[in-house]
Amino acid sequence: MTKTATLLFLLLSLFVASAADTNGQADLSKSLGDAHRSDTREYTRRADAAMDQWRADRFGIMIHWGVYAIPGGWWNGQEVKYAAEWIKVGGHVPAADYDALLPQFNPTNYHPQAWAKLFKAAGAKYVVITTKHHDGFCLWDSKFTDYDIGGTPWKKDLLRPLAEALRAEGIDVGFYYSIIDWHHPDFRAVLKTAADEAAYARYIQFMKDQIKELLTEYGPIMTLWFDGRWDPAYKTNPQIGKDLEAYCRSLSPGLVLGDRVRAYDSVADYDSGFERRLPKRKPETDWEACMTMTENSWGYHASWTGAGWKTPRYLCELLTRCSAMSGNFLVNIGPRADGTIRPEETQRLEHMGRWLAVNGEAIYGTEAGPALELPDGIYATRRGNRVFIHVYRWPDTDKLKLKGLNITSATLLTGHGPQPVVVENGDTISGLAQSPPDDIATIFALKVK
Ligand code: JFZ
């Protein structure tokens, strides 16, 4: 990092820590920062079936759901223009008022099978749901806290029926778990005294107890997705993250862990730090990007969309770009408090799914395509001797030259089966239509020597 970037990051971290610490005097309308990259020196690329499964999945859905969906970004008639799951801090909500949300949380329209069917239709291969976000509210009835679904009128575990419904659809299950906890009495953002240290040690044990519940009582969990490592208490004591990682692996040997389990000193199995942005070029490590459909809210926000809703086409392009750099893509939804998913999200997921139903073979199980000089808006993925050219920007002429390839045959993927295309000189697709056949992106599936 440059000096300026380091300084910026330090300032941001302080800002985040103090926001969590003081229950929020800060202006949270700007993005918070965890953009610091983890140390890659210890990284070894995993070569086992569980990790290969994670890689092959490529496309997942992230779900931010909790009691913050009730206010939906509004507090006392005021819109809080920031991530809805941060409202306790961003809206300066007194703890007692926030806690009063629990007796109102009653997702009577929660239908996990319908969710799973929607995710399947979207073409998603895995799901990562917030089991506990920074506010500390748990979506399952944990033995180790009452600040959970058991303390709501709904009472029933939200995770188990979802995990079962997902597996029934052949979708892998992932759990998000926040290291930050604004509710737990022993959580500390900063350790100043011996008493703080003792409390924090109890908090770490609490996290382990909860993680054991999540990893041993919910069937096979593909990935645990940690978040909130930026507070000094965690990040200046790297041994804590190291131990936590080892503990998770002892409970579940094949578990896929991102770098946010660690205090920036390791990427663990993959770099999960691409938050609402993609890397500029292919990282050396396995990696995953997570993306909001609006500008910057993960939990349900009734009104604030910032720069607006991303189009299904743009979301597919981001997915393609991830695959073309050998990375995974998580697209986020924030269900309403009653358990329904808003139409803006449903429509986008279904639209992506219609494209993937035709073109999925160019995404799933692929890796970065061969190094080619491709025009803007054109990307390549590959699986063995098959290369997939994803055309988001239709060429200006009826030819597409792919210098450096030795094409033996080529087809165009369509909803009515693959169509043959003409190849010239082994490196040029010719006779292109005057407008793109696919409203999202047209895929040329090539066999190459
Ligand atoms: C965190 C959370 O604070 C947020 O609520 C949401 O859950 C998101 C997925 O993760 O926010 C982050 C994390 C990382 C960065 C920015 C915000 N980052 O890497 O820049």
Tell me the pLDDT tens digit for each residue of 403-425.
Answer: 999 999 999 999 998 899 999 99
Q: Whose CA is nearest to atom 14 of ligand 1?
A: 34
Q: Which two tokens stand for residue 391?
A: 């055309």
Average pLDDT over residues 349-357: 98
Q: Provide the sign of the torsion angle of the four alpha carbons 94, 95, 98, 99, taken in this order.
A: negative
The per-residue pLDDT for range 104-140, each reduced to its tens digit, is: 999 999 999 999 999 999 999 999 999 999 999 999 9
Give distance in angstroms: CA of 195 to centre of ligand 1: 29
- Please list the alpha-helical segments (H only) found in 81-193: 87-90, 95-99, 112-121, 159-168
Average pLDDT over residues 424-448: 97
Question: Is 3 a residue whose pLDDT tops 50?
Answer: no
* Number of alpha carbons in the 13 Å side-chain half-sphere of residue 55: 20
Better pLDDT: 73 or 3: 73
- Quickly list DSSP for 164-186: HHHHHTT-EEEEEEES--SS-TT
Q: Which residues pair with 224 in a beta bridge?
A: 175, 257
Q: Is 339 left (phi over 0), alpha (psi -120 to 50) or beta?
A: left
Contacts with 131 (C-beta within 8 Å, 6 or more apart), sequence order: 138, 139, 140, 159, 175, 176, 177, 214
How much is the mean pLDDT over the chain?
Answer: 93
Name the residue of 61, 275, 296, 331 whose CB sits within 8 Å of the most ligand 1 atoms, as the mutation to test its pocket: 275
Q: Whose CA is nearest to atom 7 of ligand 1?
A: 298
Query: Which atom of ligand 1 sits closest to the CA of residue 299?
Result: 5
Q: Which two tokens stand for residue 382?
A: 């590959």
- CATH assignment, 38-362: 3.20.20.80
Q: Which two tokens stand for residue 433?
A: 């239509």
Question: Is 47 a residue whose pLDDT tops 80?
Answer: yes
Name the residue of 12, 30, 34, 295 whose CB sits within 8 Å of the most ligand 1 atoms, as the mutation to test its pocket: 34
Q: Whose CA is nearest to atom 15 of ligand 1?
A: 34
- Ligand 1 pocket (Cβ < 6 Å) reads 32-35, 83, 85-86, 227, 273, 275, 290, 298
The per-residue pLDDT for range 375-405, each reduced to its tens digit, is: 999 999 999 999 999 999 999 999 999 999 9
pLDDT value of residue 21: 37
Name the residue of 32, 64, 301 whose CB sits within 8 Å of the most ligand 1 atoms, as the mutation to test its pocket: 32
Name the residue of 227, 277, 294, 296 whose CB sits within 8 Å of the most ligand 1 atoms, as the mutation to test its pocket: 227
In whole angstroms, give the CA distance from residue 127 to residue 342.
18
pLDDT-derived band at 291 (thresholds 50, 70, 90) equals very high
pLDDT value of residue 402: 97
pLDDT value of residue 418: 87
Reported pTM: 0.93
Query: Which atom of ligand 1 sits closest to the CA of residue 64?
Result: 7
Give distance in angstroms: CA of 260 to centre of ligand 1: 10
Q: Whose CA is nearest to atom 13 of ligand 1?
A: 34
pLDDT-derived band at 211 (thresholds 50, 70, 90) equals very high
pLDDT-derived band at 36 (thresholds 50, 70, 90) equals confident
Lowest mean pLDDT, pick from 23-27, 252-256, 384-388, 389-393: 23-27
Instruction: List the helix and strand counts (H, then E) for the chain.
Output: 11, 19
Query: Which atom of ligand 1 sits closest to the CA of residue 274?
Result: 19
Question: Is 230 a residue whose pLDDT tops 70?
Answer: yes
pLDDT-derived band at 34 (thresholds 50, 70, 90) equals low
Average pLDDT over residues 38-52: 96
Name the residue of 15, 133, 298, 331 whose CB sits within 8 Å of the most ligand 1 atoms, as the mutation to test its pocket: 298
User: What angle is formed at CA 259 by the lines to CA 257 and CA 264, rounded to 5 degrees?
Assistant: 150
- With 0-12 / 13-18 / 19 or more C-beta atoms within 10 angstroms meaning exposed / middle / buried, residue 44 is exposed
Better pLDDT: 100 or 36: 100
Query: Which atom of ligand 1 sits closest to the CA of residue 332?
Result: 9
Residue 274 near residue 287, CB atoms below 8 Å: yes
% pLDDT > 70, the chain? 92
Query: Which atom of ligand 1 sits closest to the CA of residue 62?
Result: 9
Q: Whose CA is nearest to atom 12 of ligand 1?
A: 34
Average pLDDT over residues 208-212: 98
Give distance in angstroms: CA of 31 to centre of ligand 1: 9
- With 0-12 / 13-18 / 19 or more C-beta atoms within 10 angstroms meaning exposed / middle / buried, residue 192 is exposed
Query: Which atom of ligand 1 sits closest to the CA of residue 83?
Result: 5
Average pLDDT over residues 348-358: 98
Domains 38-362 and 369-448 share a fold: no
Residue extents of the structural domains in the chain: 38-362, 369-448
Query: Which atom of ligand 1 sits closest to the CA of residue 290?
Result: 9
Query: Which atom of ligand 1 sits closest to the CA of residue 85?
Result: 5
Q: Which residues pair with 173 in a beta bridge?
A: 127
Q: Provide the sign of the torsion angle of the four alpha carbons 76, 81, 84, 89, taken in this order.
A: negative
- CATH assignment, 369-448: 2.60.40.1180
Give distance in angstroms: CA of 275 to centre of ligand 1: 6
Give distance in angstroms: CA of 35 to centre of ligand 1: 9
